[in-house]
């Protein structure tokens, strides 16, 4: 991703269910772009338009150590089913491997049944089902 992609990435984040403005995405990308533990990759259509993005993040916890996680993935509705999602995940996997990691985790809302089939098709296995909690401070 580059800064100029912010509007298209914001559009797709909104499609994913996370309403975001161009300015918000530009700010968040600005905070991520130079970090070694984060990578945002975009997929481009033949006309150069952004048709998908993936956010990869390396997380490090006491109980599991370092691993790569897919923190966001979306492909524009008209571009789905054409291999863009797979290409983005494979690019994310290459980045994780090149960062020395051998495991990728992805958490996906229980309602995203099609995404679950997609991940399973790409070799990902369900390891558990969780509840997510939030508290406003």
Ligand X SMILES: CC(C)(COP(=O)(O)OP(=O)(O)OC[C@H]1O[C@@H](n2cnc3c(N)ncnc32)[C@H](O)[C@@H]1OP(=O)(O)O)[C@@H](O)C(=O)NCCC(=O)NCCS
Residues at the contact surface with ligand X, assessed by CB under 6 A: 16, 73-75, 80-86, 106, 108, 112, 114-115, 117-118, 121
Q: Which is nearer to ligand X, 6 or 12 (CB)?
A: 12
CB atoms within 10 A of CB 8: 20
Least Å distance, CB 34 to ligand X, is: 25
Least Å distance, CB 2 to ligand X, is: 21
Q: Which is nearer to ligand X, 60 or 114 (CB)?
A: 114
Least Å distance, CB 55 to ligand X, is: 11
Q: Which is nearer to ligand X, 75 or 96 (CB)?
A: 75
Q: Which is nearer to ligand X, 67 or 80 (CB)?
A: 80
Least Å distance, CB 106 to ligand X, is: 6
């Amino acid at each position: 991703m580059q800064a100029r992609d912010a509007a298209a990435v914001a559009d797709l984040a909104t499609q994913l269910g996370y309403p975001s403005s161009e300015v918000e995405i530009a700010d968040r990308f600005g905070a991520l772009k130079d970090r070694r533990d984060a990578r945002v990759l975009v997929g481009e259509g033949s006309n150069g338009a952004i048709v998908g993005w993936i956010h990869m993040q390396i997380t490090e916890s006491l109980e599991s150590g370092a691993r790569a996680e897919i923190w966001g993935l979306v492909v524009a509705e008209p571009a789905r089913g054409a291999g863009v999602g797979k290409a983005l995940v494979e690019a994310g996997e290459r980045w994780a491997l090149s960062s020395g990691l051998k495991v990728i985790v992805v958490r996906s809302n229980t309602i995203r049944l099609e995404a679950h089939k997609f991940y399973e098709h790409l070799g990902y296995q369900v390891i558990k089902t969780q509840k997510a909690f939030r508290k406003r401070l």
